[in-house]
């Protein structure tokens, strides 16, 4: 796998795909116009989209937003929530008002969805939940009263209705001020990105049309209802006789990873963020641990002590120790080269067993069982570690060539099989073996001899540390101390405050430097004339050690324009150029885009 394209759901290709599918759904009669009674915040004077209203779930009592409960996963309507609260102002001054919206009619697709479920597109442990979601499916609102999102394509749809004399109502002008709900266009992004990847030529259809490809999805169980009910309905409803969209296969519907019995949630600040995790330990450690603990069949609780145990006992002691022992002995006994052996029956049995493990590894990947495939990769390390210990080449000189030769081949196998999980470590193994893991398309790393082999006489690379043991308790204490320092700074900023009205007295403008002259009485100062829009001001600025005259002249700068005038070494200074300075004394001008005119205010 590779990241063929990295895009965003608000890109133009996804907008085009969204409009194509919306038009087909609406003109086919699958989208209805209905009055909806929605929450309106009297404080903010606006309708509240789903994520802007929270309350207690009517089904489980957990914390829910206006479209779904994060705890039980059920879809909810804002009216159903108890103790409702606006997430913009934090108040409960909410009333419900009628507004017209568009709804995707899910009822016509239930029979097709049940037939689709019979083809086993979802994991066995999720089938009953999906069947229940299909049975309970109703009309689903696909528009919102908000500013951001794709506008409803009113004119485009109405034009087609007229041209084809379709028996569906035209879209009224009230829909010109509404946008499509994010959960309508978000899954469409899968297709929109493919169109972008192929620059919108018809090659994208090979991936999404007429069952020419198998399309596999990996999702979390809280997204199951959107992906297994709403999304397939959208695909079916926007298909035509000539071109039909391929329905999904959900090989992975993951359960929750829990942080102290609460699921990780970025939006709610629960658990450890990716940024925080990577500040503590390398990405390989997290990739390895999470792959070992994929919550495929049930919720899994993250525990720090378990994380430490997996990294220290498995990744470091088993994998890292075997690779290090093997290569240090090759360096010591064979001048850092692969020895030339005469393999005996015991050695050939080890190679054969390793090849069987690799075959099982490949089979697990073909079955999309990432966790089991990782277990097979670790079996290679355990096999090698046991083999090296049993042969005792440090006490058995006549078997050294064979033992180290086979062990090096196993190191190569470990590097290749671990690559999907710990790519940085695998590349290190490749460097130490003076070879590389070839990830090019159509290259078979699992070839004969084992994983491409490292031939006799091959010069090995420089040995380095693969993994290091961790002490979670100590490392977290260090993190806490760092966090305390941040909190102290936060407390200071929150206490030494400036009132909004007081800040508003500062008139900060965009200025253009007109001229730069030497200050007659100061070696480090420039005398600078600045156009701040309708007026010219002079400042004495200590920029001489950081910028030349040529670098400053005609430059757009940010200026505090209503500074009380003063004299600096006999020269008038009546404004201030704003700069940033770091702890090391580096200075940088604050700037803005060239399109901003002199005098533009910064508010």
DSSP helix, strand, coil percent of the chain (3-state; round to 5): 45, 20, 35
SS3 call for 555: coil
Tokens representing residue 475 in the block: 């490392």
500-602 fold: OB fold (Dihydrolipoamide Acetyltransferase, E2P) (2.40.50)
pLDDT attached to residue 499: 72
Cα(494)–Cα(510) distance, integer angstroms: 29
Q: What is the mean pLDDT of residues 32-44?
A: 89
Mean pLDDT (the chain, rounded): 90
Tokens representing residue 57 in the block: 């779930």
Tokens representing residue 176 in the block: 């010109």
Residue pointed to by tokens 């759904």: 25
pLDDT attached to residue 485: 56
Q: In the predicted model, is pLDDT for residue 73 greater than 80?
A: no
What does the radius of gyration of the chain's CA atoms come to, in whole angstroms? 32
Axis-axis angle for helices 12-27, 154-164 (nearest 10): 40
The DSSP annotation for 193-227 comes to: HHHHHTTTSGGGHHHHBTTSS--EEEEEGGGHHII
* 170-189 confidence digits (pLDDT tens): 999 999 999 998 889 999 99
Task: Please provide residue 124's backbone torsions phi and psi, each rounded to the nearest 5 degrees.
Answer: -55, -40
pLDDT attached to residue 480: 61
Are 330 and 460 contacting, i.e. CB atoms less than 8 angstroms apart?
Answer: yes
Which of 144, 153, 113 shows the shortest CA–CA distance to 21? Answer: 153
* 447-476 confidence digits (pLDDT tens): 666 656 789 999 999 999 999 999 998 887
Are 111 and 73 contacting, i.e. CB atoms less than 8 angstroms apart?
Answer: no
pLDDT attached to residue 36: 82
pLDDT attached to residue 584: 80
Q: What is the mean pLDDT of residues 360-369?
A: 91
256-497 fold: Isoleucyl-tRNA Synthetase; Domain 1 (1.10.730)
Q: What is the mean pLDDT of residues 478-494?
A: 65
Task: Please provide residue 224's backbone torsions phi and psi, each rounded to the nearest 5 degrees.
Answer: -60, -45
Task: Please provide residue 497's backbone torsions phi and psi, each rounded to the nearest 5 degrees.
Answer: -100, 160
Q: What is the mean pLDDT of residues 341-367?
A: 94
Q: Could you check whether 12-35+106-254 and 500-602 share the same CATH topology? A: no
pLDDT attached to residue 261: 62
pLDDT attached to residue 386: 96
Cα(296)–Cα(251) distance, integer angstroms: 10
pLDDT attached to residue 1: 60
Q: In the predicted model, is pLDDT for residue 381 greater than 90?
A: yes
12-35+106-254 fold: Rossmann fold (3.40.50)
Are 451 and 359 contacting, i.e. CB atoms less than 8 angstroms apart?
Answer: no
Confidence class for position 368, pLDDT limits 50, 70, 90: confident
Tokens representing residue 40 in the block: 């309106």
Q: In the predicted model, is pLDDT for residue 484 greater than 60?
A: no
Are 244 and 210 contacting, i.e. CB atoms less than 8 angstroms apart?
Answer: yes
**What pairs with residue 366 in β-bridges?**
none
What is the pairing mode between strands 536-541 and 508-518? unpaired
Percent of the chain with pLDDT over 90: 62
Its pTM stands at: 0.68
Give the distance from CA 531 to its chain's centroid: 44
Q: In the predicted model, is pLDDT for residue 578 greater than 90?
A: yes
Q: In the predicted model, is pLDDT for residue 482 greater than 60?
A: no
Give the distance from CA 498 to its chain's centroid: 36
Confidence class for position 494, pLDDT limits 50, 70, 90: confident
Which of 191, 172, 34, 160 shows the shortest CA–CA distance to 104? Answer: 34
Number of residues written out for the chain: 603
Confidence class for position 2, pLDDT limits 50, 70, 90: low
pLDDT attached to residue 247: 94
SS3 call for 582: coil
Q: Let me know if 352 is exposed, middle or buried by CB neighbors in 10 A (0-12, 13-18, 19+).
A: exposed
pLDDT attached to residue 227: 92
Confidence class for position 481, pLDDT limits 50, 70, 90: low
Which of 64 and 15 is assigned the larger pLDDT? 15
Measured CA to CA in angstroms, residue 184 lies from 141, 144, 191, 224, 250 at distances of 9, 11, 13, 14, 19
Which of 167, 188, 178, 171 shows the shortest CA–CA distance to 234? Answer: 188
Which of 95, 10, 102 shows the shortest CA–CA distance to 44? Answer: 95
Most confident of 16-25, 224-233, 569-578: 16-25
Q: What is the mean pLDDT of residues 123-141?
A: 89
Q: In the predicted model, is pLDDT for residue 534 greater than 90?
A: no
Are 326 and 384 contacting, i.e. CB atoms less than 8 angstroms apart?
Answer: yes
Between CA 504 and CA 509, with CA 508 as vertex, the angle to 5 degrees is 140
pLDDT attached to residue 488: 64
Q: Which positions ≥6 away from 190 have C-beta within 8 Å?
A: none
What are the extents of the domains in the chain? 12-35+106-254, 43-92, 256-497, 500-602
Element (H, E) at 305: helix 304-309
Which of 565 and 264 is assigned the larger pLDDT? 565
Cα(603)–Cα(601) distance, integer angstroms: 6
Tokens representing residue 408 in the block: 């090096």
Are 237 and 229 contacting, i.e. CB atoms less than 8 angstroms apart?
Answer: no
pLDDT attached to residue 586: 86
CA 8, 13, 16, 21 dihedral sign is negative
315: which DSSP letter?
Answer: I
* 256-300 confidence digits (pLDDT tens): 888 866 666 665 667 788 888 999 999 999 999 999 998 888 888
Which of 186 and 442 is assigned the larger pLDDT? 186
Q: In the predicted model, is pLDDT for residue 483 greater than 80?
A: no
Cα(153)–Cα(475) distance, integer angstroms: 54
pLDDT attached to residue 452: 65
* 582-591 confidence digits (pLDDT tens): 878 889 999 8
Burial per residue of 384-419, b for 16 or more beta-carbon CB atoms within 10 angstroms, e otherwise: bbebbeebebeeeeebbbbbbbbbbbbbbbbbbbbb
Task: Please provide residue 462's backbone torsions phi and psi, each rounded to the nearest 5 degrees.
Answer: -85, 135
109: which DSSP letter?
Answer: G
* 320-339 confidence digits (pLDDT tens): 999 999 999 999 999 999 99
**What pairs with residue 209 in β-bridges?**
245
Measured CA to CA in angstroms, residue 462 lies from 1, 198, 335, 368, 393 at distances of 29, 42, 12, 35, 22
pLDDT attached to residue 349: 96
């Amino acid at each position: 796998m590779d990241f063929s394209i990295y895009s965003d759901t608000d890109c133009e290709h996804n907008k085009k795909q969204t409009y194509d599918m919306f038009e087909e759904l609406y003109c086919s009669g699958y989208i209805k116009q209905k009055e909806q009674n929605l929450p309106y915040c009297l404080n903010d004077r606006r309708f509240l989209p789903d994520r802007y209203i929270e309350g207690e779930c009517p089904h489980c009592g957990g914390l829910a937003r206006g479209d779904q409960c994060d705890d039980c996963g059920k879809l909810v309507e804002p009216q159903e929530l108890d103790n409702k609260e606006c997430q913009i102002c934090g108040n409960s001054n909410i009333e419900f008002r009628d507004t017209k919206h568009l709804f995707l009619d899910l009822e016509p697709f239930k029979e097709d969805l049940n037939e689709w479920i019979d083809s086993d597109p979802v994991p066995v442990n999720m089938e009953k939940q999906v069947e229940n979601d299909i049975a309970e499916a109703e009309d689903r609102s696909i528009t919102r009263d908000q500013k951001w999102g794709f506008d409803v394509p009113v004119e485009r749809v109405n034009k087609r209705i007229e041209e084809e004399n379709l028996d569906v109502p035209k879209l009224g002008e009230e829909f010109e001020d509404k946008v499509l709900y994010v959960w309508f266009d978000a899954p469409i992004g899968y297709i929109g990105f493919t169109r972008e990847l192929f620059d919108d030529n018809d090659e994208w259809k090979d991936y999404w049309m007429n069952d020419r490809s198998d399309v596999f999805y990996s999702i979390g169980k809280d997204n199951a209802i959107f992906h297994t009910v709403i999304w397939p309905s959208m695909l079916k409803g926007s298909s035509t006789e000539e071109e039909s969209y391929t329905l999904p296969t959900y090989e992975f519907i993951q359960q929750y990873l829990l942080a102290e019995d609460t699921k990780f949630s970025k939006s709610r600040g629960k658990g450890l963020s990716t940024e925080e995790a990577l500040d503590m330990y390398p990405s390989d450690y997290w990739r390895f641990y999470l792959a070992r603990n994929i919550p495929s069949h049930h919720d899994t609780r993250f525990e720090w002590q378990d994380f430490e145990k997996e990294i220290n006992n498995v990744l470091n002691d088993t994998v890292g120790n075997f690779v290090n022992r093997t290569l240090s002995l090759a360096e010591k006994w064979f001048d850092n080269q692969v020895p030339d052996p005469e393999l005996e029956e015991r050695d050939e049995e080890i190679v054969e067993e390793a090849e069987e493990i690799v075959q099982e590894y490949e089979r697990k990947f073909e079955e999309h069982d990432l966790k089991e495939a990782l277990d097979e990769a670790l079996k290679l390390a355990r096999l090698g570690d046991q083999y090296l210990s049993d042969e005792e080449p440090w006490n058995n000189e006549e078997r050294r060539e064979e033992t180290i030769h086979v062990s090096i081949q196993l190191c190569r196998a470990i590097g290749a099989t671990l690559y999907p999980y710990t790519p940085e470590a695998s590349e290190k193994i490749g460097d130490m073996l003076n070879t590389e893991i070839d990830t090019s398309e159509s290259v078979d790393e699992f070839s004969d001899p084992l994983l491409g082999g490292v031939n006799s006489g091959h010069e090995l690379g420089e040995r380095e540390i693969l993994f290091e043991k961790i002490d979670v308790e100590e490392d977290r204490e260090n993190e806490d101390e760092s966090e305390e320092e941040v909190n102290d700074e936060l407390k200071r900023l929150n206490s030494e405050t400036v009132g909004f009205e007081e800040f508003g007295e500062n008139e900060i403008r965009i200025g253009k430097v007109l001229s730069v002259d030497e200050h007659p009485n100061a070696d480090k100062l420039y005398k600078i004339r600045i156009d701040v829009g309708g007026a010219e001001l002079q400042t004495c600025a200590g920029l001489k050690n950081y910028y030349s005259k040529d670098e400053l002249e005609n430059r757009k700068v940010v200026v505090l324009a209503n500074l009380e005038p003063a004299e600096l070494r006999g020269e008038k200074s009546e404004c201030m150029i704003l700069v940033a300075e770091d702890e090391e004394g580096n200075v940088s001008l604050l700037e803005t885009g060239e399109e901003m005119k002199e005098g533009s205010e910064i508010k």
